[in-house]
Structure 1
Amino acid sequence: MSLLIVGATGTLGRQIARQAIDEGYSVRCLVRSFNRASFLRKWGAELVRGDLCDPSTLPPALDGITHVIDAATVRITDSLSIKQVDWDGKVALIQAAQHAGVERFVFCSILNNDQYPHVPLMDIKRCTERFLAESGLDYTVLQLAGFMQGLIGQYAIPILDNQPVWITGKAAPIAYANTQDIAKFAVKALSIPETANQTYPVVGTRAWSAEDIIQLCERLSGRNARITRAPLGLLRTVRRAARFFQWGWNVADRLDFAEVLASGNPLTAEMDDVYPVFDINPNEMTTLEAYLQEYHSRIMKKLKEIEYEQEKTKARKKRQRSPFKSSD
């Protein structure tokens, strides 16, 4: 079985690549930059240069490939729009996979995308799921909620650094999952016949509100958070202003997603029927408490080591000071 991973340098994609390599798959990764993806080659993956927005690069990347996992999505720092990457690029990839005779296509989507037709990213994910289902390919769709990895920069680090933590009104609770756990589902979907032409939610063990996460980080770090609430009306104004400029279109599309979070509707799903299909023990899923506990344990240990070294340096400099000499 030969596997092409699209989006392999991303937060989720790299974990899928690691999991697939560890399980003995022949892994090829579609990348735009060999330098940025050099760690994948060190792990044992083959790198092929390509771009979802350049359809001519896709057939060579799919040559000899039997399975595809697509974990790519536009980054907020990209100059390209959500439509260019998450729609035009994905349509080109699916069509190229058809021509290449790919046996299974695993697509990483977003949970509840059918409930927000006015939000570009959600609507495009919904349309991509439909296009994939109608393509004739054997497919598996994994609908995700959020990644635990993103919470470090959003909550843990600002609280540790005494920086503001930004939240939007009464943000919807989200069942964040560890990308390492999601990767297990993605790779298992390749070889389980029952997952063909099916859609599954893959989410964390429970939904967490922003307030819940902040309280957890405060307890683990022993520090108080500086919370700043961004009114939804302000985000809407910024979004409208951004649409006046081409460089702001992608930012505006991302701000539209704030409507999902501010809706108050939890991003979560029941997983009891999913675990048996993938032969995954729910008790092995990472809890958010355990994930953040491990992070804070490591970072607090590092901070203590730094403080200890600083104290040693101060003491050494104090001993090295020349004493005042008294005159005879």
Structure 2
Amino acid sequence: MRTVVFGASGFIGSHVAEQLHLAGHDVIAPLRAGSDRVFLDRIGVRVTQVDFADQSSIEAVASSADVVVNCTAAVQASPRQARQVDIELTRRLIRAASQAGVSRFVQLSTIVVYGYAPGTCPANETTPCRPSHPISKLAVEREDTVRAVARDAGIDYVILRPASTIGSRDKTSFFSQLAQAHAANRFPMIDRGMARFSCVDTRDIGRAMAFLAELPEAVGETYLLRGFELSWAQLKEVLDVHRGVVAKTRSVPRPLALGLATAQERLLKNPTLTRYAVEALCHDRIWDDAKLRSAGFDTAYDLHQSIDVALLALGEKENR
């Protein structure tokens, strides 16, 4: 099957392209001029240049595909830039896929659609989304955009909401930031790190996207994906073991953390701490992916395998 992966030069997108390639798909990665293509070239994924400002350029790329996968995302962008990518570009990509006669559009989403307190834990696909922060509201709007355009244009779609991800080729996710803080001997915690959360290996996200690209009953459906659960305090203990160093903990009460986050959001263009992050670190965020597993998918990587590959990529285990 010929699959076009938009966003294939990104952290999760590169894993999606890789897993589709490993599954035997003919993968095409449309990139902007100047995008990093080193990894894609190394694994043998075909790269082509696209002008995202030109709808005909997007349609020309999509016309060669059976399936289009969208992994584009605005990372560390301003609200305006985030909207241009997450909403406007997504709308243009699915319209181009429809115009090109593509049979299916697979959208990478996120568990942030639930907000920081989903109400029931674990949450599943029927749990109401209660977005209270801009990042959550934008994620919900992106899903709604996919559904609306797909309905109007008559194209099949599937949406995947993966849990927090751990993997290689990552410098900005929650895990890489915590791993770097651990390496600097100042692992941060809020309220002693007792809140529990679900994670998943990024390779399993790629495998799930490849699975959903071909699953007949996935049309019009939304799926959650998780791999394993632990608390933030347990994550620190696992990093202690994997790095062979017992890092010091910097524990901050939730009210103080919220105050610091509020001040950063008001004063800094790119705050290192946000109110959303604080709330996410203080509430259990466990996801139930029984729907995807009952369809026949199962994850392949456990917590320790995920942390091993992530630390190797960050250079934290080179001498061990």
Given the two structures, how large is their TM-score scaled by the length of structure 2?
0.79
Instruction: Identify the residue that residue 105 of structure 2 maps to in structure 1.
Output: 105
Give the aligned length: 291
**Shift in Å at residue 128 of structure 1?**
1.8
Larger radius of gyration: 1
Give the Cα separation in 1 of the matches to 2:54 and 2:275.
27
Instruction: Identify the residue that residue 32 of structure 2 maps to in structure 1.
Output: 32
Identify the match of residue 258 of structure 1 among 255, 263, 277: 277
Instruction: Identify the residue that residue 164 of structure 2 maps to in structure 1.
Output: 146
Q: Which blocks of at least 5 consecutive residues in structure 1 are unaligned?
A: 243-247, 305-328
Instruction: Identify the residue that residue 240 of structure 1 maps to in structure 2.
Output: 266
Pair 1:162–1:77, CA change in 2 (3 A): same
**Shift in Å at residue 158 of structure 1?**
3.5
Instruction: Identify the residue that residue 205 of structure 1 maps to in structure 2.
Output: 228
Instruction: Identify the residue that residue 3 of structure 2 maps to in structure 1.
Output: 3
**Farther-moved stretch of structure 1 (87-96 vs 193-202):** 87-96
Is 1:89 equivalent to 2:94 in the alignment? no
Is 1:132 equivalent to 2:146 in the alignment? yes
Instruction: Identify the residue that residue 274 of structure 1 maps to in structure 2.
Output: 292
Give the Cα separation in 1 of the matches to 2:130 and 2:271.
16
Which amino acid is 1:183 matched to? G
Give the Cα separation in 1 of the matches to 2:311 and 2:139.
34
SS across alignment from 2:136: helix
Give the Cα separation in 1 of the matches to 2:103 and 2:28.
16
Is 1:174 equivalent to 2:197 in the alignment? yes
**Shift in Å at residue 8 of structure 1?**
0.7
Give the root-mean-square deviation of aligned CA atoms. 2.9
**Shift in Å at residue 202 of structure 1?**
0.7
**Shift in Å at residue 58 of structure 1?**
1.6
* 1:215-272: CA deviation from partner (whole Å, max 9, x where unpaired): 1111333322233346121111111223xxxxx2xx369835325514x333322223
Give the Cα separation in 2 of the matches to 1:300 and 1:117.
35
Given the two structures, how large is their TM-score scaled by the length of structure 1?
0.78
Which amino acid is 1:122 matched to? S
Instruction: Identify the residue that residue 241 of structure 2 maps to in structure 1.
Output: 219
SS across alignment from 1:163: coil
Give the Cα separation in 2 of the matches to 1:65 and 1:286.
29
Identify the match of residue 185 of structure 1 among 208, 219, 222: 208
Structure 2 contact 32–52 (Cα < 8 Å) conserved: no
**Shift in Å at residue 28 of structure 1?**
0.9
Which amino acid is 1:205 matched to? F
SS across alignment from 1:81: helix
SS across alignment from 2:88: helix
Instruction: Identify the residue that residue 136 of structure 2 maps to in structure 1.
Output: 122
**Shift in Å at residue 121 of structure 1?**
2.2
Which amino acid is 2:202 matched to? T
Give identity over the alignment, percent: 20
**Shift in Å at residue 112 of structure 1?**
5.3
* 1:169-223: CA deviation from partner (whole Å, max 9, x where unpaired): 56653211001111111001111101111001011222x2221101111133332
SS across alignment from 1:14: helix
* 1:101-160: CA deviation from partner (whole Å, max 9, x where unpaired): 22111111112514443322221221221222222321111111211124653233443x
Is 1:303 equivalent to 2:316 in the alignment? no
